[in-house]
Structure 1
């Protein structure tokens, strides 16, 4: 339903994923059940430049990610600057932050950030800069200092089908968007059957937050026009609205839980087919070692395709 994607200009779109991605995602899905929506990937961006293994930057990155997991069980936003002192080589400096959606309880914030840390390591392996936006939380790090710098870069947008000649809908939508512009931090708003929410990064002043959200709302209207549901993510804030339904959904028709169920069903079906194939190979060739190698090769091929589809097209 949604066909538009924008990413940070210094980051590249992910084109391929390793096999371990699938197992981590399935573990998250099976463990968290109805909380799965918070961990659905919205967008990810990775820098072209890569750091060397066992470099000072890698050590500071690991410290940063560990601190994020620990801190997110206590506070929903935090920012970090590591390795920028005189005792550390310049190439080791790292700046980063995380933020959970304002309505998430702390235990869910922590779990969301654990998922974000895993996903950013998988999709942006060895990158000097990376960001991931999940439904419930956001994580970013860079080699250069971006903290506190105004950033209204368009990171991502989604626009649904259009609503034609519905005067009442547009009036309600405009009321919601006007209300969302006044947010300081996180805000939920509704008017009639239209709902929405918005959020700024935790270190923005009220004036900077208002300016960012004003830009986000303007982009919503200009880029998505008469869409029944839309979401715009900028560098330091985002705003979303939709026509009726629970506000964690971008559209009433969308169901990430249904998508997850379908994906898991497909995976189980493929694995079942592969198992049957391996049994046949074992009988025909009577060589367990060859059968095992065939199993690993075939299953890796199919799971790679399924994983890539699941991540890049979550809706």
Structure 2
């Protein structure tokens, strides 16, 4: 097993793909990295890694963040984190997609790997990174300048970014202004509150210094946190809901409409049934035919004739 070095192994090989300023989905690839260290196929490390990746996906069904350290030797460390506004179901889907992306991105014998999707982050390595601050700028991108520089928009952007930084110690923070400027920031939850604040401050500082006052959007991904802003664009959808929530709302509305329609039909049917009961006593059963014109047969116990009703 070659993966025994105690020096940082990730981001030595880094592949980047920016998300740009367009609206993104949870599985949109942001960046990924693979360790140059290799392990031997069929080794205990491979078995431990497979178990760890399965554990990450299963855990994502219940919580938006978790980290694990293997008990076996060699020791393996791993974590995942989903965007703070996702449901557990969406988180699991995203983490599973991130692991599949790692499998395509990294060699099958890579000792470590990390991938950031729009909705989640997954990392594993043979060197512990848990609780370790990392403010390395992994990716920064700035959108084109807005048409016609607006000093007011620049001030609103700074205000929103400052609000996100002062997020009260939360790991996931969103902010917006009435002028259509939105921001979102998140740090990996293995950091302490102080480390998280320090990382977010650095990420927002990158956006302010590198993107300038006129940029329409900006992304700054550091090793353990990120900050993003946009003027009414892609990141505005990060402010508390996602496409999965939209689908759930539509399903709920469809169910409610169906229930209301069903109750209305039941009331009409019961009203009609009451009228039939008032016309003839001693009814024991109503038999409906499946023909377009419904034949109702009224069976009487008093020996009287069978009465048939045709409904137009």
What is the TM-score when the length of structure 2 is the normalising length?
A: 0.66
Does the CA-based 8 Å contact 2:10-2:114 persist in structure 1? no
Q: Does 1:108 align with 2:109?
A: no
Specify the alignment match of 2:198 in structure 1. Answer: 211
- Determine helix, strand or coil for the equivalent of 1:97: strand
In structure 2, do the counterparts of structure 1 residues 249 and 48 end up closer, same or farther at CA, with 3 Å as the change threshold?
A: farther
- In structure 2, the partner of 1:224 is 211
Aligned: 1:237 with 2:225: yes
What secondary structure sits across from 1:37 in the alignment? coil
- Deviations 1:41-67 (CA, angstroms, capped at 9, x unpaired): 111111112222111211111111000
Match of 2:152 among 149, 168, 179: 168
Question: 2: distance between equivalents of 1:130 and 1:248?
Answer: 30
Give, in whole Å, the separation in 2 of the partners of 1:248 and 1:136: 14
Give me the whole-angstrom Cα distance separating, in 1, the residues matched to 2:125 and 2:195.
Answer: 22
State the alpha-carbon separation in 2 of the partners of residues 225 and 127 from structure 1. Answer: 38
TM-score by length of 1: 0.65
| More displaced 10-residue stretch of structure 1: 197-206 or 95-104 | 197-206
Aligned partners of 2:67, 2:117: CA distance in 1, in Å? 18
Output the aligned Cα RMSD. 2.1
2:167 pairs with 1:185:
no
- 1:1-315 aligned at under 5 Å gives the runs 10-14=11-15, 37-83=25-71, 88=73, 92-125=74-107, 126-163=109-146, 165-183=149-167, 184-191=170-177, 192-226=179-213, 227-245=215-233, 247=235
Q: For the residues of structure 2 that align with 1:198 and 1:132, how far apart are their CA atoms?
A: 17
Q: Report the alpha carbon displacement of residue 93 of structure 1 after superposing the two structures with TM.
A: 1.8
Q: For CA contacts below 8 A with separation 6 or more, give which structure has more relative contact order.
A: 1
Report SS of the residue matched to 2:25.
helix
Helix, strand or coil: the match of 2:190? coil
Q: SS in structure 1 opposite 2:102?
A: helix
Verify the 8 A CA contact 1:11 1:130 in the aligned structure 2: no
From the superposition, tell whether residues 249 and 156 of structure 1 become closer, same or farther in structure 2 (CA, over 3 Å). Answer: farther
- Return the alpha-carbon distance in structure 1 between the equivalents of residues 165 and 24 of structure 2: 28
Alpha-carbon offset, residue 159 of structure 1: 1.1
Tell me which structure has the larger Cα radius of gyration. Answer: 2
My pick for the range that moved more, 172-181 or 219-228, is 219-228
Whether the aligned pair in 1 keeps the contact of 2:131 and 2:192 (CA below 8 Å) is no
Using a 3 Å threshold, how does the CA distance of structure 1 residues 121 and 185 change in structure 2: closer, same or farther?
same
Q: Aligned residues, how many?
A: 218
| Higher alpha-carbon deviation: 118-127 or 134-143 | 118-127
Q: Which runs of 4+ in 1 moved over 6 A?
A: none
User: Where does the alignment leave 5 or more consecutive residues of structure 1 unmatched?
Assistant: 1-7, 16-34, 251-315
Quote the offset at 1:244 in angstroms.
1.0
